[in-house]
Amino acid sequence: MAGIFITGTDTNIGKTAVAAGLAGALKNKGYNVGVMKPVQSGAAARNGKLYSQDAEFLMDVIGEQGETGLICPVLLREALAPSVAAELEGKTIDLNLIRNAYLELERMHDIVIVEGAGGIAVPLKNKFLISDLITYLGMPAIIVARAALGTINHTFLTLEHAKRTGIPVIGVIVNNYRGGVAEETSPKIINELTGIPVLGIIPHDPAIDVEWGRPGDIVSLVEESIDIERIIHFIF
């Protein structure tokens, strides 16, 4: 049994697409893969009920028909940090609910890909951060980083925080590569500064749209661009 937590250097950097692509790539290798989005801020509404568009995207990419209450146990209406969104709705995020859902998914699958909310230091409740959730669940992490200018600083700080909080980091995935000197040189510098491997660089695919449920070629892009074997070796 194994899990991988997908977090990032910021929000809106493609964590959902990367998580879905990795889940699909591992499924194609013969693993029974589960997915999870523990907390969805900015949950959409359908027929008067909230749902997680990120969780649905993850499920659709791998053809999962699992229990949505397990896959996304916490739904929040406002697109804000979970702690703020929950406070506005008068809710308390139940960490035991999240952990029990994860353990059930872990029992059912060989690997569970868990996608966080925003960056690694986003607060879930009070001073309990995404990084605290990762350690609470006892998982290694993959950091998703932008390809654009500024990613060296953001990625370095994210990895330093992960190190300080004791999170085992499998590596960094650079997402949405479009070309340019900054994009071409940043991955090597990130590796040199931190000692953490860059697992691969995923090129920009305009066909990917999580909000509208369009996966584009994300699974094949992950298979072609990411060192899947290194990830498998790390967790097994």
Interhelix angle 181-194/151-164, rounded to 10 degrees, is 20
Residues 6+ apart with CB under 8 A from 233: none
Contact 15, 130 (CB under 8 A): no
Q: Tally the domains of the chain.
A: 1
**Which residues belong to the active site?**
37
Q: Is the Cβ–Cβ distance between 217 and 207 less than 8 Å?
A: yes
pLDDT value at residue 215? 96
**Does 192 show up as a binding residue in the annotation?**
no
Q: Give residue-wise pLDDT tens across range 183-207.
A: 999 999 999 999 999 999 999 999 9
Write down the residue that tokens 């990419």 correspond to: 61
Which tens digit of pLDDT belongs to each residue from 136-156? Answer: 999 999 999 999 889 999 999
**Which domain covers residue 140, as residue numbers?**
2-235
% pLDDT > 70, the chain: 100
**Cα 141 vs. chain centroid, distance in angstroms?**
9
Residue 141 backbone phi and psi in degrees, to 5: -125, 155
Q: Is the dihedral of CA 5, 70, 127, 78 positive or negative?
A: positive
What's 203's domain CATH number?
3.40.50.300
The answer to the question of whether 16 is labelled as a binding residue is yes
User: Is 42 known as a binding-site position?
Assistant: no
pLDDT one-digit tens code per residue, 64-103: 887 788 999 999 999 999 999 999 999 999 999 999 999 9
In the prediction, which pLDDT does 1 show? 57
Q: Is 191 annotated as a binding residue?
A: no
User: Token digits for 146?
Assistant: 């932008």
Is 182 assigned a ligand-binding role in the annotation?
Answer: no
